[in-house]
């Protein structure tokens, strides 16, 4: 369903397949790309207030349909003012369809042409998720960008299983498109196909023929590794319309981000910044550091001298280590905030480099520094 509330434009770089900077306009504001999407699985980015998210540089957040349909229920979210009301976030929101989470329940799910049947991880009740109900749930949640229901095959996986995943992904995308009813939401298709070039190409072609307003590349965060990820993006991105945004789902490792931006990807999401933050692992330009390490016990320096986040402005590495060692909630909050700011700064540098025509000159030194101890 087309809407004039959404608009994509390439502002700099190679619109077809190379690194590009753009702007995606939604009913709740514009997103400068390439951009990172913090993950707020249950309608909250753990430990971080909405105002702080904005101050850290977040432009858009993600919420998870699977978790919200089970608790508190999509009707409850709708009655509370939709995700924007529940999250107290006035910017753009994206929801995934829930398919990825269902497919992680390998011993609890059944797949048919009709859709998915699974057992809730909360109470064991049987739940059905079809293309139509996935769209209806996301319509009720009220995100700006919603995703078609797809099948994400594991890695490694027999070719026949990947072929079947592509067949159902394409069939379900068409049904999602027919079920979508809200012009203030943009429904995007998801390209699957594992690490099979011909299946990626055929899936992309079928989805492009449906004329979605945006496209995601799925199934590249299931253990296939950096080289496979690069190849999948290289096969897929050039076959998606240059006039529409491209989204790589579940990817946040810096080398993966830089490689995908180089190949024309605009949007990324990943749980790593906050998950690592809750486990005392902090991103820095010189690599990931683990603040529980004893060497930080009396370290009076900030996590990263170049960073201006609340953790780096007000607290030492030693103090933050103490918070973790004693179970104080401030430790995970501070490192999560720092990590989110690290990703916002990283993407800001990538955007700036594309605008200035020096992306390739920036990318390799940045990665060499980050992975210098690998």
Catalytic residue among 150, 256, 266, 269: 269
Cβ atoms of 195 and 263 within 8 Å: the answer is: no
Q: Would you mind telling me the total number of residues written for the chain in this entry?
A: 374
Strands 246-248 and 267-270: parallel
Q: How far apart are CA 125 and CA 355, in angstroms?
A: 51
Give the pair of three-digit tokens for residue 104.
């992680």
96 catalytically annotated: yes
| CA dihedral for 72, 73, 74, 75, sign (positive or negative) | negative
Radius of gyration of the chain (CA): 20
Q: Which residues contact 243 (CB under 8 A, 6 or more apart)?
A: 8, 15
- DSSP-assigned states of every residue in 295-348: GGTT--S-S-TT--SHHHHH--HHHHHHHHHTT-THHHHHHHHHHHHHHHHHHH
Strands 61-64 and 93-96: parallel
- Find tokens 């009220």 and name the residue: 142
Q: How far apart are CA 19 and CA 11, in angstroms?
A: 11
Q: How far apart are CA 287 and CA 255, in angstroms?
A: 11
107 catalytically annotated: no
Catalytic residue among 96, 150, 256, 266: 96
Catalytic residues: 96, 269
């Amino acid at each position: 369903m087309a809407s004039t509330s959404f608009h994509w434009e390439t502002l700099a770089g190679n619109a077809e397949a190379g690194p590009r900077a753009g702007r995606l306009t939604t009913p709740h504001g514009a997103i400068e790309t390439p951009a990172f999407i913090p993950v707020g699985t249950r309608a909250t980015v753990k430990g971080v207030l909405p105002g702080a998210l904005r101050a850290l540089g977040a432009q858009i957040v993600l919420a998870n349909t699977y978790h919200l349909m089970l608790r508190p229920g999509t009707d409850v979210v709708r009655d509370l003012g939709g995700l924007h009301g529940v999250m107290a976030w006035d910017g753009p929101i994206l929801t995934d369809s829930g398919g990825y989470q269902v497919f992680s329940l390998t011993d609890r799910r059944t797949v048919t042409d009709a859709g998915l049947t699974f057992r809730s991880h909360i109470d064991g009740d049987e739940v059905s998720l079809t293309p139509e109900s996935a769209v209806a749930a996301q319509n009720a949640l009220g995100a700006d960008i919603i995703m078609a229901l797809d099948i994400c095959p594991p890695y490694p996986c027999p070719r026949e299983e990947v072929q079947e995943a592509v067949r159902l992904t394409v069939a379900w995308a068409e049904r999602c498109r027919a079920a979508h009813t809200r012009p203030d939401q943009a429904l995007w298709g998801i390209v699957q196909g594992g690490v099979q070039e011909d299946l990626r190409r055929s899936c992309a072609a079928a989805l492009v023929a449906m004329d979605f307003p945006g496209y995601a590349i799925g199934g590249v965060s299931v253990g296939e590794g950096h080289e496979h990820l690069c190849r999948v993006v290289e096969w897929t991105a050039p076959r998606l319309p240059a006039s529409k945004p491209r989204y790589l789902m579940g990817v946040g490792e810096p080398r993966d981000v830089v490689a995908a931006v180089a190949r024309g990807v605009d949007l990324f999401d990943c749980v790593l910044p906050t998950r690592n933050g809750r486990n005392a692992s902090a991103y820095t330009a010189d690599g990931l550091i683990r603040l529980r390490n004893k060497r930080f016990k009396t370290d009076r320096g900030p996590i990263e001298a170049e960073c201006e986040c609340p953790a780096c402005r007000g607290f030492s590495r030693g103090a933050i280590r103490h918070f973790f060692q004693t179970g104080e909630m401030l430790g995970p909050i501070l490192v999560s905030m720092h990590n989110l700011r690290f990703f916002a700064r990283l993407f800001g540098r990538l955007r700036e480099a594309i605008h200035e025509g020096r992306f390739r000159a920036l990318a390799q030194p940045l990665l060499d520094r980050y992975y210098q101890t690998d």
